[in-house]
Chain A
Amino acid sequence: DQQVKQNSPSLSVQEGRISILNCDYTNSMFDYFLWYKKYPAEGPTFLISISSIKDKNEDGRFTVFLNKSAKHLSLHIVPSQPGDSAVYFCAASARSGNQFYFGTGTSLTVIP
């Protein structure tokens, strides 16, 4: 059963506007969350992370929000740029384990 879910397979946004990508998880033991960005024919690259002791982490145009009670995290990109067009994966891990669990990905298209 998928422990990390990204229910929107795709998202289109105008350049300059905000992109919001969502991720839900089911395992309450998850305490570390990451977002990865993936371009075609390349491996995923790390974008931003958040620990469960925080509810927000910001890095330039990228902000991740964590709502532990709802088991939900989101990635905000402001302002969106055409170079942000990629597939975004969220991932989660638990201190008791040795692996990350990945969502199915959301394909973001930023329209110039």
Chain B
Amino acid sequence: DAGITQSPRHKVTETGTPVTLRCHQTENHRYMYWYRQDPGHGLRLIHYSYGVKDTDKGEVSDGYSVSRSKTEDFLLTLESATSSQTSVYFCATDLSGGHGNEQFFGPGTRLTVL
């Protein structure tokens, strides 16, 4: 298994506050992804990175920003959290950007915005 950790694992915050979630990998995978999982929606891509400082938007990127200053770390920031961003967030990595390799997922971060 790829070594993927996420921090924090659980967070409760208030509307309007900034929140940063961290994903750390030890496998030197080039691609990293942030998803959110919501009932009835499955896993939806927020942002992804195809290298250090190289990122792109996913399906549900509004209200989120990301940064990748090192291969091993991918940060997801909610500049001003809203209740609609209450969700479970998963980080994932893969070798080849979906081309013939599976993605490896972290354990998830449960975020509650009150």
Contacts and interface: CB of A to CB of B under 8 A. Distances in A.
Give 8 nearest A-B pairs by CB, closest first. Answer: A43-B105, A93-B98, A104-B42, A98-B97, A46-B102, A102-B43, A102-B42, A44-B105
Q: What is the size category of the interface that chain A forms with chain B?
A: 20 to 34
Nearest to B6: A43
B104 A46 contact: yes
B74 interface: no
Contact of A32 (B4, B35, B92, B99): B99
Q: Chain B interface secondary structure, helix, strand, loop or mixed?
A: strand
Interface in A42-83: 42-46, 49, 51
A43 B107 contact: yes
Nearest to B105: A43
Q: What is the size category of the interface that chain B forms with chain A?
A: 20 to 34
B102 A34 contact: yes
Interface string A69-112: 00000000000000000000101011101111111110000000
B98 A98 contact: yes
B50 to A, nearest CB: 6
Contacts of A89: 42-43
A82 to B, nearest CB: 23
15 contacts: A6-B42, A32-B100, A41-B107, A43-B92, A44-B43, A45-B105, A89-B43, A93-B98, A97-B98, A98-B48, A100-B45, A100-B98, A102-B43, A104-B40, A104-B41
B108 to A, nearest CB: 5
